[in-house]
Amino acid sequence: MILERAWRWRVALMATSVGVLAAILRLVGLAWPQALVFDEVFYARGAYSLLALGYEGEWEGDNQDFANGDFSHLTTQGDYVVHPMVGKMLIALGMRWFGPTPFGWRFMAAVVGIATVVLVALIARQLLRSTLWGGVAGLLLAVDGEHIVMSRTAILDIFLTFFVVAGFGLLVVDRAQTRAKLMRAAHDARSRLEISPDAPIPGMGPGTGIRWWRLAAIVTFGLAAAVKWSGLWFAAAFLILSVIWDWADRRDAKVELWFWGGFVRAIPAFFATVVWLPVTYVITWWPWFATDGSYNRHWAENNPGEGLTWLPDSLNSLLHYHLQAFSFHEGLDSAHNYESNPWWWPIQYRPTAFYFEDVPDADCGAERCVSAIHAIGNPALWWVGTAVLIYAIWRVIRHRDLLALTVTVGVLAAWIPWLPYAHRTIFTFYTVAMAPFMAIMVAWALKRLAQPDRLRGAFDRTGVIIAVVFVALALILAGFFLPIWTGDPIPFRYWQWHMWLPTWV
């Protein structure tokens, strides 16, 4: 009992430590700058409109007026927006608590960013069977610039990241519980059949009951899609991974027809997904259904005989709205200074500059002071992580390493679907949804170095040194880049020292 409590305290201490570090880096100075940063112009103002009108109205006038507390430019005309509203509703929650101020509209982004760091630490601990390496994964995400910047900015991608990580975490819990049930049921089946403990179990194996954790994951992925549609890619990838886990667990339990056993039990999960994920998504549009001023709210009534007329008018209108938004996304190829080719995303080749202003009144010790916010990932995590990704894929292909596949799927789900859209106006900051899985994957690689399989859990001195040096490097680089992740006034020359590549300028 004492050892069990000590073990739990270790986990609590680890999770608290990475959470406190993440909170410091994401909450301190959150109200700066006193301006709408990058796409906050869409999402902070949209969130305020949800509070004021119950729907998203069009805005007129200068953007800075909103940042200065002038909200008179909001009209009652429904605004044509191309992303769902869960992210904006969460932003609005912070504004309801702290007012329509920079701190208010960024607060919930910081909260879910901190929560994501803690979730990653706990998920990595479960996957790697180590509190130490779970803490390393959480630490790497806590000091990643991409994640810090997005946690300090009121735009959607940090909320997408949270729900995706939460859904993955629920599937990890589902696997742990289902595997334990399966092994107990397999033992009972062998006793009932009076066969040896190592004998194969005939047929497709025992059932494991209703899987509530997987159902919760499906609902959570529905919320991810209700932030941005790209959440669907993660849902597909992780739910397929869940089936692969089932196959592996049934094979470990020595079920004769392990493949068909896992396949048959995946059918209810498939139907649960095609029902509950869209139901969850549609429910999140309740502000649109509940108001008359929302964009296209009465399209079906105003265009009788068009669309899917067998649907209720409200759903027919919503479907038409979504087809419009999909067409917009497909055709979004206008030039932008910071658009980036997704083939280069893992090495952060063309990061997004969110903010850059001269600050003449700042005392930074130089003639020219600037405030800059660049969504640049911690080079230690991303550059090494790219090499680890190649190694992990090799492990999957060469050794059929299920853990390598598990830690890789999230990275690939955040990256591969974007490759066909290289021609579109897309940005490197989308990789914030990749960052948690990059941190888990790098922690997995560090563990393999420090505790190689051949030593069966013992530490290798050289590997430990490499791991310690790497983590120390990540912390040093975080300290170096922190001013351009938070927008602190710095000398212009110091800003130039951070522009390591011409594409970073």
Give the DSSP letter string of 422-454.
TTS---GGGGGGTHHHHHHHHHHHHHHHHS-GG
Give me the phi and psi of 159, to 5 degrees please: -75, -40
Give the pLDDT confidence of 111-120 residue by residue, as tens digits: 999 999 999 9
* pLDDT confidence band for 17 (50 / 70 / 90): very high
Of the listed ranges 111-125, 255-269, 375-389, the least confidently predicted one is 255-269
Q: Which of 367, 362, 335, 330 is nearest to 488 (CA)?
A: 362
Give the tens place of pLDDT for each residue, 445-465.
Answer: 999 999 999 998 899 999 999
Read off the tokens for 88. 């904006």
Look up the pTM and report it: 0.95
| Six token digits for residue 44 | 């902070």
Residue 61, pLDDT score:
76
Mean pLDDT of 458-485: 97
Helix, strand, coil: what percent of the chain each, to 5?
Answer: 65, 5, 30
Mean local confidence (pLDDT), 27-50:
94
Q: Is the dihedral of CA 304, 306, 310, 313 positive or negative?
A: negative
Q: 86 by DSSP, 3-state: which?
A: helix
pLDDT of the residue at 349 = 94
